[in-house]
Amino acid sequence: MAGTGSPSTPGALDGVSDAELMRSLAAGTREALDPLVRRHHARLYRLVLGYVRNPDDAVEVIQETFVRVCQHAGRWDARSEVAAWLTRIAINQAIDRYRREKRRRAVMTPLDEDAGPVRAIAVGMPQDRLVGSREIGERVGRALEALTERQRAVFLLRHQEEMSLEAIAESLGIHLGTVKSNLHRALQRLRVQLETLR
């Protein structure tokens, strides 16, 4: 698949594996980026939105993520999963954006109604007591804000994306034990923050 001879028709590369797309992208085939975006955009956007709490910021983070994917495709290690590599870039971009915007955000965006399962896990409550409450969503948003950057990333990957602990470790480039300890601390801190909701 040469850079100049690659098909430009939308969807022409859809049957190619993520790994092959990455190799093509590293070799200069820009068309290989499109199927990667189509496959991973929704998942990464959901994750980033949970982290930065602002839809406009999330859109920009995802754009920055795929720009970096294109620029640094040659750095991808073929021994690792492409999805994990993309997740790590997206999380790092989300952290950078969050740090830049933190002082400018006075009010957290409440969690969407779809985030009910995350709230239920966080506080150990039945979901039906949580869904639809704007106030609770705002309080959970503030509780997530109180977590460290790594704790928030681990929590969202585990309970929003339902990733395995091993997959989280690979995505964040940290040891499995570090994932477990950060998840444990995140749950403890969230439960303390939200204790009055019981």
* Residue 2 in domain: no
pLDDT over threshold 60, residue 172: yes
Burial class (CB in 10 A: 0-12, 13-18, 19+), 99: exposed
- One domain, residues 82 and 140: no
CA angle 102, 148, 133 (to 5 degrees): 70
* Residue 7 in domain: no
* Residue 9 in domain: no
* Residue 135 in domain: yes
pLDDT of residue 183: 95
pLDDT tens readout for residues 29-51 = 999 999 999 999 999 999 999 88
Burial class (CB in 10 A: 0-12, 13-18, 19+), 102: exposed
Model-wide pTM > 0.75:
no
| CATH at 90 | 1.10.1740.10
CB 68 within 8 A of CB 111: no
Domain count, the chain: 2
User: Percentage of the chain surpassing pLDDT 70?
Assistant: 73
- One domain, residues 149 and 171: yes
Q: Which residues contact 195 (CB under 8 A, 6 or more apart)?
A: 123
CB 140 within 8 A of CB 111: yes
| Phi/psi of residue 160, nearest 5 degrees | -95, -45
Enumerate the H helices of the chain as residue ranges.
18-26, 33-52, 55-71, 82-101, 116-123, 134-146, 149-159, 165-172, 176-193
pLDDT of residue 123: 47
The whole domain housing 53 covers 14-106
Point out the domain boundary residue: 106, 141, 173: 106
pLDDT tens readout for residues 56-85 = 999 999 999 999 999 999 999 988 899 999
- One domain, residues 75 and 113: no
- One domain, residues 118 and 74: no
* Residue 23 in domain: yes
* CA 138/CA 113 separation, integer angstroms: 11
pLDDT range class, residue 4, cuts 50, 70, 90: very low
- One domain, residues 30 and 82: yes
Point out the domain boundary residue: 70, 89, 106: 106
- One domain, residues 78 and 137: no
- One domain, residues 80 and 120: no
- One domain, residues 82 and 145: no
| CATH at 175 | 1.10.10.10
Point out the domain boundary residue: 106, 134, 159: 106
pLDDT of residue 12: 65
- One domain, residues 96 and 113: no
